[in-house]
Amino acid sequence: MSLLIREMRGAYAFVERNINLIRRYWGWEIVWLIYSLTNALAITYIGNGMSAISGQEIDTQYVVTYLLVGALIWQYLSVIFYAISEMIAWERWEGTIEYTFMAPVSRPTHLIGTTLFAIGYGVVRTLVILGIVVGFFRLNLGGANLLGAVLMLLAGSVSFVGLGIFAAVLPLLYPERGAQMTNAAAAILLLVSGVYYPIETLPGWLQRIAAASPATYVIQGMRACLLDGRSTGTLLPTIFTLIGIGVFVIAIGLVIFRYVERYAKRAGRLKRSG
Amino acid sequence: MRTTALEIEGVRKLFVRKDQTKRHRGLRSHKSKEEVVALREIDLTIKQGEVFGVLGPNGSGKSTLIRLVSTLLLPDSGALRVFGHDVEHDPFAVKRLINRVSVDAAFFKKFSPIENLMYAARLYGMNAGEAKLKMRSILKRLGLKEETFDNPMEHMSRGMQQKVAVARGFLTSPVLLLLDEPTTGLDPHSKRDVQAFVREIRDTHDATILLTTHDMDEADRLCDRIAIIDEGRIVALDTPEGLKTLIPSSNGDKQTLEDVFIALTGRGFEEAEAAEKVAS
């Protein structure tokens, strides 16, 4: 059997396992969908109420679209981030981590399988939420550059895969607290990346952190495509920068993961199910 | 001459444990670190086709030994080789040759046996169609009813779950099978089923089996050779019959492995387990 076929089967193991997890935990899935949907609606309604809050005439439709783009893109990116970061947390929780780690499957293959699932799942989930949310608001995406938006989203996915690998290390190092630390990391990204407001409203020191977050560029790029209709050509530097950051973060993430896996094996940390 | 399946040379493993219960000057608790030696300079060679038993009380280092061979732990010193492949430096080659059944049947509990076994089969690069046929045949051979194959494992008894764990271990046809107390906690009927299956594998396949247990009868019946391990050291190694002749009988009765253990360690199995429990 060729190495490639074996690795493809190994990668598919993670796709199929995650689909089975969704099937078997469908109740949770519905709860999370309702949570994400109501979150997106609640945030977008802030835009609808801006005139009433400030007592001034504002372009409500623009603000609503601005917030909705932020909510949906964050929803998609956080699904990628959590799906990758939970590749260890799920196994710890179920107690199967030792069996997966002793299987002849390489960590990049493990990651490819998890990423394929994460992107597919993120797209489907975001489209479902988008499909429901557009029924609540009047949106004007007439001049939007949809192709540019898709390219921007794909480029952003690469860097979030890398960030997910960093977060996946945490449950290996800290069996009990690792998953919660992942939540904290996601919350920091949400704060600094300009998801619901321009980063210029942040204090200077937070703006410097925002400049290091790939989410900042994805969200700015998405708004440029969807709200301002910027051409794909003018966004190419941002897209290539995002891909570059993504490749760099994935490479560093894999090196760190390998180092931490070795440490966990040295210290006997794979055993505890936490 | 038979090939060497597993070679263990001077393997030592210790764990650093945080102890938060100690008190400083009788008032404040503080964290301190303590080193617990799990294995001390273990040397062992197992030949292909052999069923090798490691017999010892809980906490004696049996599971640590299995985890080291499984590439889940790294030794502090010494080396382990599976069919010539170094466990630390060539783990991928080792992983293709081994599989393991442990005392805790760890599964995705909401998945069915078929879903869990399919996950394992794909991780080992097996063809799905071939794997499906094989897993059904092994599960049936182990006495699982076909109507349970697609039910969530959380609804199964401990004995049935352990049989699925055994099926997972054999599914990938490992040439070195690591059985870490596979029958501990099972009811007598399930225990007999699992032991019969291990005997069948021993008789019909060319697999090498490393079996850890604290069940003396199980070790006696299944193993070609047995190492008695206590506090991380091998205190005796021989065939079951050879071990029983190590110590003289005081009343003319045939010695049991328990008599041998008491004579070699100066304490009974339960006493040794209690001591290990206090230490850990």
Average pLDDT over residues A58-63: 90
| Residue matched to tokens 């979030």 | A160
Looking at residue A104, its amino acid is P
Per the CB < 8 Å rule, is A268 touching B123? no
Nearest to B38 by CA among A174, A274, A266, A101: A266
Among A87-91, A160-164, B48-52, B109-113, the minimum mean pLDDT is found in: A87-91
Average pLDDT of chain A is: 91
Interface of A with B in 88-127 (CB under 8 A): 94-96, 98-106
Give the long-range contacts of residues A41-46, CB within 8 A, separation 24 or more.
A41/A133, A41/A136, A43/A67, A43/A70, A43/A71, A43/A196, A44/A68, A44/A71, A44/A133, A44/A136, A44/A137
As given in the structure block, the two tokens for residue A154 are: 């794909």
CA-based nearest distance B211→chain A, Å:
18
Q: What is the ipTM of this complex?
A: 0.87
Delimit the domains of chain A by residue range.
Answer: 3-267
Contact between residue A182 and residue A82 where contact means Cβ atoms under 8 Å apart: yes
Per the CB < 8 Å rule, is A24 touching B110? yes
Residue A13: its chain B contacts at CB < 8 A?
119, 122-123
| pLDDT of the residue at B27 | 57
Instruction: Give the one of A17, A104, A266 whose C-beta lies nearest to B95's C-beta.
Output: A104
Helix (H, G, I), strand (E, B) or coil at B180: strand
Delimit the domains of chain B by residue range.
Answer: 4-93+178-279
Contact between residue A84 and residue A115 where contact means Cβ atoms under 8 Å apart: yes
- B238 phi and psi, to 5 degrees? -170, -175
Both ends of chain B: CA-CA distance in Å? 42
| pLDDT of the residue at B46 | 97
- The residues of chain B scoring below 50 in pLDDT are 279-280
**Is some CB atom of chain B closer than 8 A to the CB atom of A172?**
no
Is the pTM higher than 0.90? The answer reads no
Average pLDDT over residues A50-54: 91
pLDDT, tens digit (0-9, with 9 covering 90-100), for A14-31: 999 999 999 999 999 999
According to CATH, the superfamily of the domain at B4-93+178-279 is P-loop containing nucleotide triphosphate hydrolases (3.40.50.300)
CA-to-CA distance for B181 and B229, rounded, in angstroms? 14
Question: How much of chain A exceeds pLDDT 90, in percent?
Answer: 70
| pLDDT of the residue at B29 | 58
Average pLDDT over residues A205-230: 93
Which of B37, B66, B72, B94 is the mutation pick for testing A, counting most A CBs within 10 A?
Answer: B72
pLDDT band at A2 (very low <50, low <70, confident <90, very high): confident
pLDDT, tens digit (0-9, with 9 covering 90-100), for B137-189: 999 999 899 999 999 999 999 889 999 999 999 999 999 999 999 988 888 88
Helix (H, G, I), strand (E, B) or coil at A18: helix
Per the CB < 8 Å rule, is A13 touching B111? no
| pLDDT of the residue at B263 | 84
Per the CB < 8 Å rule, is B71 touching A102? yes
Average pLDDT over residues A103-124: 93
